[in-house]
Amino acid sequence: MSLRAVIDSVEGREKRLTVFDPPNDDAVAELREYFDSQAVRIAEGTTDSSLSGYVVLSDEHDDEVLAAVDLRHLQGEVAVGPGEQSAFAPILEHLDGTTFTSYDISQMMAATREMEDRAWRAGTGELHAGFQRVEAIRAQKGVYEDLATKEIDIHTYCAPSDDTPDIEGVSIHQEDTDEIRRSWFVAFDGGGDPADACLLLAEERGDPADRQFYGFWTYDSTTVATVINHLKQTYAVPA
C-alpha cells in the first residue's frame, strides 16, 4: 500500500461537529475558523435534551457521539494562547485519524515535534522520517543527533543529492520516487508499547511555492505498522 493510498483510506472518515442551540452567530463562526484545517463538518442544531448549549463531535457514518464540550466553558475566544489548554481538548483527542487540509510548514513542524518527542521519551524502537529534500535533513541534524543518542533505530528518507550530511546513528535513504519527494512523514513504532505508536503522514499538494500539505496524524498502532512495513518493503530498510 503506497503512502498516498494510506491517506486516501483515511480521507473518508469525516466527523461532524454540531453546535446545539448556539448563544450567538459568532460562536459558530469561531468554531468554523478554529477547525478550518480539519476535515470536520460544522453544523447547527437544536435540542430539548441535556446537550443544549453543547458542541458535540460525532462520526458522520454512524452518528456515534465521541465527545462533547459545554459552550460555557469557552469563556470568550475559542483559540488559546501558547501553553494554555484548549477547552476543546476532549474533542481534539478524537481527531486523530481525521484528515487535515492546507497545513503550512509551521503546522507541520509542530506536529512533527510531537511524534519525535514520543520517540525521545520512549528511548527505544524504530523511527522513520521523510524529509522530501536533503536540505530539510541538514536543517534538523541537531535534533536527529540527539535522538540517535537513544536506543532508537532511525531511518530518514529524501530525494537523491550529492550533498547528504553524515549523522552518526541515522540511516539516510535517498530514493528517487514521487512519494518520497512529495511526502512528509514521521512514524514511530512505539518502542514495544503500541500505546506510544504514532504517525504523521502528509502529501504536498498544489503550487510548490505555497508549501501546503494534506494528510493526517494517528496513534493507531495498526496504521503506523502499515506505513513502516511499506517503507521497509519498498526501500529495503534493514531489519
Question: Mind listing the pLDDT tens digit of every residue in the chain (239 residues)?
Answer: 799 898 888 766 677 888 888 877 777 887 787 777 676 778 888 888 888 888 888 877 667 777 888 876 654 455 544 445 556 666 766 666 666 766 889 889 988 998 999 999 999 999 999 999 999 999 999 999 999 999 999 999 999 999 899 999 999 999 999 999 999 999 999 999 999 999 999 999 888 888 889 888 888 899 999 999 999 999 977 65
Separation of alpha carbons 78 and 100, rounded Å: 19
Question: Measured between alpha carbons, how far is residue 107 from residues 17, 34, 43, 72, 182 in Å?
Answer: 22, 14, 25, 28, 17
Residue 135 to residue 144: CA distance in whole angstroms: 14
CA 199 – CA 216 distance, rounded (Å): 8
Q: What is the pLDDT of residue 31?
A: 79
CA atoms lying within 13 Å on the CB side of residue 186: 20
Ordered alpha helix ranges (H), 69-123: 89-92, 105-122
Query: Which pLDDT does position 100 carry in this prediction?
Result: 73
Q: Which of 237, 222, 230, 235 is nearest to 10 (CA)?
A: 222
> How far does CA 21 lie from the centroid of its chain?
31
Please give the single-letter amino acid code of residue 229: N
Provide the 8-state DSSP code for 46. -
Angle at which helices 221-235 and 3-11 cross, to 10°: 160
3-state secondary structure of 164: coil
* Tens-place pLDDT, residues 55-86: 888 877 667 777 888 876 654 455 544 445 55
Please tell me the predicted confidence (pLDDT) of residue 111: 87
- Whether the CB-CB separation of 225 and 194 falls below 8 Å is answered with no
Question: What per-residue confidence (pLDDT) applies to 80?
Answer: 46
Contact, 100 vs 37, CB < 8 A? yes
**Contact call for residues 173 and 155 (beta carbons, < 8 A):** yes
Start-to-end Cα distance in the chain = 19
